[in-house]
Structure 1
Amino acid sequence: MKLDPQTDLKLERVIHVPRPLVWACWTTPEHILQFFVPRPHKVLACDIDLRVGGRFNTLFEVDGNEMRNEGVWLEIIPQQKLVFTDSYSEGWKPAAEPFLTAILLLEDEGADSTRYTAIARHRTPEAREMHEQMGFFSGWGVVVDQLEDYARSLPLDKG
């Protein structure tokens, strides 16, 4: 996948969790609640309709304030790729102030590990720069750590 350094940010890591379990964590609301934002912030609610055009809505608590994020899935390749955006909400309703399109790529890396690639695509270089300054690498890195810790606590067949 060709990235544009002016508008894209990329985080890539190998995590010691089998890919089916990572997929389950990313596609199940109960699991999203456990890792999706850096602690001490938290996800209060998550609603997923896992189909292209389906909703991916979350409600966060950040510093005592509730923040709603509504989005849709743009591409789904089971066990391999998720693409979602906040540019639209369900029913293809355009967002007033879209921020990003996110791409999550999952590949096997050995028997029980996953190459985890997260890409954040922005509309402008200024939005990309703002996201980097907000802590993209540290924040999304913490989320990957939380995901790995949480997923390792789950039995593979119950992901």
Structure 2
Amino acid sequence: MESDLDPELDLVLTREVNAPRELLYDCWTTPEHLVHWFVPKPHKVTACRLDVRVGGACDTTFDVDGAIMENRGVYLEVVPNEKLVFTDTYTEGWKPAPEPFMTAIVTFEDIGNGRTRYTAVARHRSREAAAQHAAMGFHEGWGTVAEQLEEYAQALTR
């Protein structure tokens, strides 16, 4: 995937996570898990509906400092334990979204000893949207979320 990254449109976060990729994938695809780590604390996920299949809903609702934010989208590609691609360009039923923001590509690569190379790419339609997302704190926010994911996944294995 690295060869098709556009530095003007794509924001990338890569981490080595001390958890097996199958468990990380489960945390990404199971609402009961996702609500515990998906937004930087103290913010929280208040609702989650995941229909993990191409065209299936990828809907989350967040409470950010008392403001409710709905994020509706669909899955574009699902490769169990390896890759998830979802977008807010469309909603369930392939209905175009009025103000799409990004497409996310999340990959899980086994690097041995129960560790995973976790990569999240936020792909944008324009330089302006990518710059806006970077200014909103993409790297800090998604980095915090990766840490929360690792902590949550490790707690599941104890």
> Could you say which residue in structure 1 is the equivalent of 2:76?
74
| Aligned residue type for 1:48 | L
- The TM-score, its normalising length taken from structure 2, stands at 0.97
Q: Secondary structure at the match of 2:35?
A: helix
Tell me the C-alpha RMSD between the 2 structures.
Answer: 0.9
> Could you say which residue in structure 2 is the equivalent of 1:97?
99
How far off is 1:87 after superposition? 0.5
> Could you say which residue in structure 1 is the equivalent of 2:58?
56
> Could you say which residue in structure 1 is the equivalent of 2:126?
124
Q: Secondary structure at the match of 1:11?
A: strand
| Aligned residue type for 1:3 | L
Runs of 5+ consecutive residues of structure 1 not aligned to the other structure: none
How far off is 1:65 after superposition? 1.0
How far off is 1:13 after superposition? 0.7
Measure the CA separation in 1 of the matches of 2:7 and 2:21: 28
> What is the identity percentage for the equivalent residue pairs of Structure 1 and Structure 2?
58
How far off is 1:109 after superposition? 1.1
Q: Deviations over 1:37-87 (max 9, x none)?
A: 001110001001111000010010011011111000000011100000000
| Aligned residue type for 1:110 | G
> Could you say which residue in structure 2 is the equivalent of 1:3?
5
> Could you say which residue in structure 1 is the equivalent of 2:116?
114
Q: Deviations over 1:80-127 (max 9, x none)?
A: 000000001000010000000000011001121000000000000000
Measure the CA separation in 2 of the matches of 1:146 and 1:46: 17
How far off is 1:155 after superposition? 2.9
Measure the CA separation in 2 of the matches of 1:9 and 1:155: 31
Query: How many residues are treated as equivalent by the alignment?
Result: 156
Measure the CA separation in 2 of the matches of 1:4 and 1:19: 26
Measure the CA separation in 1 of the matches of 2:37 and 2:23: 13
Measure the CA separation in 2 of the matches of 1:20 and 1:80: 8
> Could you say which residue in structure 2 is the equivalent of 1:85?
87
- The TM-score, its normalising length taken from structure 1, stands at 0.96
